[in-house]
Amino acid sequence: MCYIIPRSGISGDGVESARHFRALFAALSCGAFLATISFAPPARAQAPPPGPPVKLGPLDPEAGKALFSANCSTCHGVDATGEDGPNLHGVPAALGDSVVAGIIRRGIPGTGMPSSYILSEQDAANIVSWLRTLDSAPAAAVATGDPKKGEDLYHLSGCSACHMIGGEGGTIGPDLSHIGAQRGGASLKARLIDPGANLPTPSGGFYGNNWTQYMMFRAVEKDGHATEGIRVGEDSFSIVLKDSQGKLHGFRKPDLLKLEKEPGKSFMPSFKGTLSDAQMDDLIAYLSTLKGAP
C-alpha cells in the first residue's frame, strides 16, 4: 500500500520540504510493496507433443487441383507456373511429397509462404498428387519470336491502357512487370487467346469467401440502368465493380433489379484471329522478357 502525507498543517518555507518528503515517502512505500511481488517471466508455452501419424485416404488429384485453385493459385498461378510465388512444376520430385505437403500446411517462416489453418493433411496430400501430374506435362516451349516486334505490338494493340509495366500504364488488368518470371510461353498464349478462361480463385481468408479474380458482373438498377465491371469488393449487402475505364461503382444489393455473373467474359479482347502466328510469337517473346528489377 502507498501512503500519501496530507498537505494540511504545512505552510511557509516548509511547504517545499514537505513536498519532497511526501514524494520520497510515497516512492519508498510503493517500492517496498512492489518488492514483495514476484515478477518471474511467464512460462513459455510448450507445443503439444505430436499426435499419431494421420492415415491418409486415397489420393485425389482432381480434388487437389480444386484446392490449389482456391488456396494457392493467387501466388503460384492457376497452372502452377508461378505468379508472385515460384513455378512449382517438378518441385515434389525435387523435394519429396511429404516435404511439399508439410510446406503447404506449415508455410516457410520469414518468407511470403504462409501456413494454412484450413487445409488438412489429406488436402495437402491431394494438392501434391495434382502437382505430380504436372511433371509429365510437356516442357514449356522457348519463346522464338522477336521481342522488339512484340513490344511494338503490345503498344499498338492498346495493352498499356489496362496493364502496367514498370509503373507505367493502366490498372484495370494485372501488372505485367514480372510476367516473364511468373508464366511460361504456353500459359501466356492461352491467356492471349482466351483471357476470360481459367481465372484464379484465391482463398477468401478468415471469412471463407472464394473470389474468382477478374470475374465480370453485370448490375442492373431498378430504373434499368446497367453497369458491367470487375468485382473489386463484395459483402452480403453490397458490391463494388470497376468498369472498363477504371471507375468504381458501388451498389446495395437490395436496390438492384438484377446482379449477374458473366463467367468467361473479360475486358481484355482475345487475340485469336487478330494476330498471325508470327505476331503471337513476337508478343509472347516480349512478355517473356518482363522479369522485373534484377
Q: Are the CB atoms for 144 and 281 separated by under 8 Å? A: yes
% of residues, the chain, pLDDT over 90 = 45
C-alpha cell read off for 195: 483471357
Which of 87-91, 124-128, 140-144 shows the lowest per-residue confidence on average (mean pLDDT)?
A: 140-144
Torsions phi, psi for 220 (to 5 deg): -115, 120
Q: What is the pLDDT of residue 262?
A: 94
How many whole angstroms separate alpha carbon 275 and alpha carbon 5?
92
How many whole angstroms separate alpha carbon 206 and alpha carbon 118?
10
Q: What is the pLDDT of residue 85?
A: 75
CATH topology of domain 216-261: SH3 type barrels. (2.30.30)
Query: Quick check: 142 pLDDT over 80?
Result: no
CATH topology of domain 147-198+268-288: Cytochrome Bc1 Complex; Chain D, domain 2 (1.10.760)
Domain positions in the chain are: 61-136, 147-198+268-288, 216-261
Quickly state the pLDDT bin for 86 (edges 50, 70, 90).
confident
Amino acid at 212: T
Q: Tell me the CA end-to-end span of the chain in Å, nearest whole number.
A: 64
Which of 2-16, 80-94, 120-134 shows the lowest per-residue confidence on average (mean pLDDT)?
A: 2-16
Tell me which of 76 and 41 has the higher pLDDT.
Answer: 76
Q: What is the pLDDT of residue 243?
A: 95
Please compute the mean of the pLDDT values over residues 190-205 and round it to a whole number.
75
Q: What is the pLDDT of residue 209?
A: 52
Task: Please check whether the two domains, 147-198+268-288 and 216-261, share a CATH topology.
Answer: no
Torsions phi, psi for 228 (to 5 deg): -115, 135
How many whole angstroms separate alpha carbon 280 and alpha carbon 144?
10
How many whole angstroms separate alpha carbon 252 and alpha carbon 219?
10
Q: Are the CB atoms for 148 and 155 separated by under 8 Å? A: no
Pairing of strands 238-242, 248-252: antiparallel
* Angle, in degrees to the nearest 10, between helices 61-71 and 121-133: 100
Query: Quick check: 245 pLDDT over 50?
Result: yes
**What is the CATH number assigned to the segment(s) 61-136?**
1.10.760.10
Q: What is the pLDDT of residue 29?
A: 46
Torsions phi, psi for 256 (to 5 deg): -95, 145
**pTM attached to this predicted model:** 0.56
How many whole angstroms separate alpha carbon 104 and alpha carbon 70?
13
Residues in the chain: 294
Q: What angle do CA 233, 180, 190 make, to 5 degrees?
A: 70
Quick: pLDDT tens for 102-127: 999 998 887 778 888 889 999 999 99
- The closest of 71, 63, 78, 61 to 186, measured between CA atoms, is 78
Quick: pLDDT tens for 17-34: 444 445 444 444 444 444
Query: Quick check: 213 pLDDT over 60?
Result: yes
- What SS3 state is found at 94? helix
